[in-house]
Structure 1
Amino acid sequence: MITNLVTSGTFSLDGGTWDVDNNVWIVGDATEVIVIDAAHDAEAIAEIVGDRNLKAIVSTHGHDDHIDAAPALAALTGAPILLHPADLPLWEMTHPGTKPDGTLADGDVLTVAGVELLVLHTPGHAPGAVCLHAPELGTVFSGDTLFQGGPGATGRSFSDFPTIITSIESRLLTLPADTVVRTGHGSTTTVGAESPHLPEWLDRGH
């Protein structure tokens, strides 16, 4: 039901460029899937999708390493690209003169292979950052909002550390403790493993 592909490329913002490995998540069954964060390598992602119906390419936020392969994957598959509208300025920095095919809003429900994924708007890492909660799968796809070890980096333009802490506390740490957090980079974690560290993150923001 959930496949993880790690792709490699770069992330650029505020005049800097860094090498990064990204988690691409493919959710679905033998018939249909969605892709969460089309990073770096459209052909590799399309190969895993195969002949299944790709219902949507969901972008958890608009940083270039999470959206750089989205238009090429859309061209290969015909799937629509979805992004929260607050991240359109970031999208346009990477893909000027274009727009995603649709928007994401807090409370939206995406359905694939009979499984519902609830869109949670979790601003902070980026204004339009979202997570996708799939209760039936016991998981949340956190993008760069929450990692193993803490919040996503926010020391760049478009980011806000106090806001990301509020998002994590109110939207993610309220989920069941055994919820698996599938991150945009690195290893998975759980809500229960991360929640005890909230006081440290709050202190960091003061």
Structure 2
Amino acid sequence: MAGVRVERVVTSGVFALDGGSWEVDNNVWIVGDDHEAVVIDAAHDAEAIIAALGERRLTAIVCTHAHNDHINAAPALAEATGAPILLHLDDRVLWKQTHQNREPDSYLSDNQRIEVAGTELQVLHTPGHAPGAISLHLPALGAVFTGDTLFAGGPGATGRSFSHFPTIIRSIRDRLLTLPAATVVHTGHGDDTTIGDEAPHLEEWIARGH
């Protein structure tokens, strides 16, 4: 039996906020073993995610935040699999912009543990890109899933509604850059990075207001 592992599915669609829309590619992360898994950010294409899951039991659909491009496939995936949708309460206002008739099944809290395949994901509340943005630390594999909080090259965007640059900097400094340097950062869009690669640039990000 294979142990717990991380898989990426890239889906494409539209991100819409504040009256604008942009074509985007999203990283959908599957964490689990041969028998069960969780999905992090059900973006755009429920069928593609279901195909990647195969015969595995989906135990949770975890949302790093509630921008539409990270949650638009969540209800369809939940309906197909019976898995609950989990979101931080502070992002409920954003969730309702996309899904007015479907609530998340449960609201996440800081430091909560989500069990899967004999290991745990730890919820880190990392607001700034969105008020309820979270990251998920997976110590067993030396990994963290940061959604749109931290990318290869710097913080996520804070120029739109419900975002705040000083807050995202605090989240990155206090909750993410304190993780071991070798920790692999699995992002919401684009390539992986590591905590060690990003940590030296914190002051640069602050200086340029990213």
Same fold (TM over 0.5): yes
Q: How does 1:121-200 map to 2 (within 5 A)?
A: 121-200=125-204
SS at match of 1:177: coil
Q: Does the 8 A contact of 2:75 with 2:102 survive in 1?
A: no
1:10: which partner in 2? 14
Partner of 2:51 in structure 1? 47
Two-structure CA RMSD over aligned residues (Å) = 0.9
Q: SS in structure 2 opposite 1:142?
A: strand
User: Which stretches in structure 1 are left out of the alignment for 5+ residues?
Assistant: none
Q: Which residue does 1:113 correspond to in 2?
A: 117
The alpha-carbon deviation at position 97 of structure 1 amounts to 2.4
Give the match's secondary structure for 2:181: coil
In the alignment, the residues of structure 2 paired with residue 33 and residue 64 of structure 1 have an alpha-carbon distance, to the nearest angstrom, of: 23
> Structure 1 vs Structure 2: percent identity of aligned residues?
67
Partners in 2 of 1:70 and 1:25 — Cα distance?
Answer: 13
Specify every segment of 5 or more residues in structure 2 that has no aligned partner in the other structure, as ranges: none
1:51-70 equivalence runs, <5 A: 51-70=55-74
Shift of 1:115: 1.3
- Corresponding residue SS for 2:13: strand
The AA in structure 2 aligned to 1:115 is T
Moved beyond 2 Å, runs of 4+: none
Alpha-carbon offset, residue 133 of structure 1: 0.2
Amino acid of the residue matched to residue 100 of structure 1?
P
Q: Secondary structure at the match of 1:38?
A: coil
Tell me how far apart the structure 2 counterparts of residues 204 and 120 of structure 1 sit (CA, whole Å).
26
How far 1:203 moved relative to its partner? 1.3
The structural deviation recorded for 1:202 is: 1.5
Rounded Cα–Cα distance in structure 1 between residues aligned with 2:13 and 2:102: 22
Give the TM-score normalised by structure 2: 0.97
